């Protein structure tokens, strides 16, 4: 399978770390570039309710998101000898749409970590993975969370 590159969704979860490690192994084998992307959902509080629930849970402070992506990439690269260079990209917007757009703009395969959820949690919190699968015209690889069996 020839790859033009990989865009990996990184949110700091164990599943996204597993996806990043998988992408590193593939990049070493195929010699393709990796872009690690973290998307911050914009805050949309309801009128008169500044503490309203955000679409993907409460967003972490901007200061923490600036270091979270870099720390995740650094930790993943540290475990691999001769790791490829990874470009870090931070975006703001709808996570599913922005990840798909990043993969489309670069002609890359989209790599996402996947943690199975119950139907109730999918209904309550939504699923970026499902949105990416519906929207993407690029190949999408789902890497299961290595800690769950």
- The pTM assigned to this predicted structure is 0.80
| 91-128 per-position pLDDT tens digit | 999 999 999 999 999 999 999 998 777 676 566 445 78
- 67 vs 34, which has greater pLDDT? 34
Looking at residue 81, its pLDDT comes to 87
Looking at residue 102, its pLDDT comes to 96
CA dihedral 26, 92, 133, 10 (to 10 degrees): 30
In this prediction, residue 39 has a pLDDT band, given cuts at 50, 70 and 90, of: very high
Give, to the nearest 10 degrees, the angle between helix 128-135 and helix 95-106.
40
């Amino acid at each position: 399978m020839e790859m033009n590159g990989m865009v990996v969704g990184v949110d700091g979860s164990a599943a996204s770390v597993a996806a990043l490690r998988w992408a590193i192994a593939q990049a070493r084998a195929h010699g393709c570039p990796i872009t690690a992307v973290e998307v911050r959902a914009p805050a949309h509080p309801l009128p008169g309710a500044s503490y309203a629930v955000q679409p993907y849970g409460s967003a972490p402070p901007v200061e923490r998101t600036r270091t979270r992506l870099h720390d995740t990439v650094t930790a993943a690269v540290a475990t691999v000898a001769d790791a490829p260079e990874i470009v870090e990209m931070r975006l703001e917007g709808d996570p599913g749409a922005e990840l798909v757009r990043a993969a489309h703009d670069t002609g890359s395969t989209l790599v996402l970590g996947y943690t199975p959820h119950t139907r109730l949690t999918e209904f309550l919190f939504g699923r970026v993975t499902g949105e990416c699968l519906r929207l993407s015209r690029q190949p999408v690889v789902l890497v299961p969370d290595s800690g769950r069996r």
